[in-house]
Amino acid sequence: MAGNEKLYGVLALQGDYEKHQQSLTHLGARTIFVKTLDELSRVHALVIPGGESTTMLRLLDYYGMFDILRKFGAQKPIFGTCAGAILMARTVSSPAQKSLDLMDMDVERNAYGRQVDSRIVRLDSALGDLEAVFIRAPIIRRTGPGVEVLASYLGDAVLVRQGRHLAASFHPELTGDTRVHQYFMDIVEA
C-alpha cells in the first residue's frame, strides 16, 4: 500500500497535529509526531499543522530546530497548513516575523478580517470540488513564478505547490476529505 515505506512526521510542538496524523493514517501512511531533532531526522516528509505560528516559532527556536527544519525542507517535502503555511513563506506580514523561506510566496497573517475570520467554503480546485475550513487564516498575497496555484478563494491563492512543498491557508485535516493529504503523499511517494 502507498505510504508503507516512507515515514511521515507531523510537527507536534503546538496546534492541531493530531488531526493531521489521523488523515495520514487513514490513507495508510506510517506516521510519528515530531517534537525533537532526533524525530525530525527519522522522517521522510513533514506536516506542519495549523495553530499559532508565533508560538511555533518560539518553540522551534527554544528547541534549536529552526535552522535544521529549514535544511530539512531544502531536501524533503513539507506540507504546511495555515500557521504551517505561514512558516513556509518567504515573507510574513501583519505583524512581520521570520519564516523558513521554503516557498516563494508572501503571506499576511489573520488577513481575512475579524468578523468573518473563520468560515467554511467550497472551492473549485485542481483536486476537484473541496470544502475548506478557514480559521484566522493568512492571505497568500504573492506567489512567485515557480509556485503552482491549485485553488483560490476570493481571488487569492489558498492551496499552492512549489516542487516538493505544499501549503494550504485552510485546514484540510478538519474535513473527512483526505484528498489534499493524498496529494501530498503522491508528491512524497513520487
- Which positions touch ligand GLN (CB under 6 A)? 50-53, 82-83, 86, 109-110, 135-136
Are 58 and 65 spatial neighbours (Cβ–Cβ below 8 Å)? no
Min CB(128)–ligand GLN separation in Å? 23
Which is catalytic among the residues 20, 165, 171, 181? 171
Min CB(175)–ligand GLN separation in Å? 14
Name the residue with cell 530546530. Answer: 65
Judge whether 82 counts as a catalytic residue: yes
Judge whether 171 counts as a catalytic residue: yes
Measure Cα distances from 178 to 38, 78, 100, 184 in Å. 28, 17, 26, 10
CA 10 – CA 6 distance, rounded (Å): 13
CA 154 – CA 170 distance, rounded (Å): 13
Which is catalytic among the residues 108, 165, 173, 181? 173
Q: Which is nearer to ligand GLN, 5 or 114 (CB)?
A: 114
Q: Which is nearer to ligand GLN, 70 or 136 (CB)?
A: 136
Instruction: Identify residue 99 by its one-letter amino acid code.
Output: S
Judge whether 173 counts as a catalytic residue: yes
Min CB(154)–ligand GLN separation in Å? 17
Q: Which is nearer to ligand GLN, 30 or 70 (CB)?
A: 70
CA 105 – CA 67 distance, rounded (Å): 19
Annotated catalytic sites, by residue?
A: 82, 171, 173
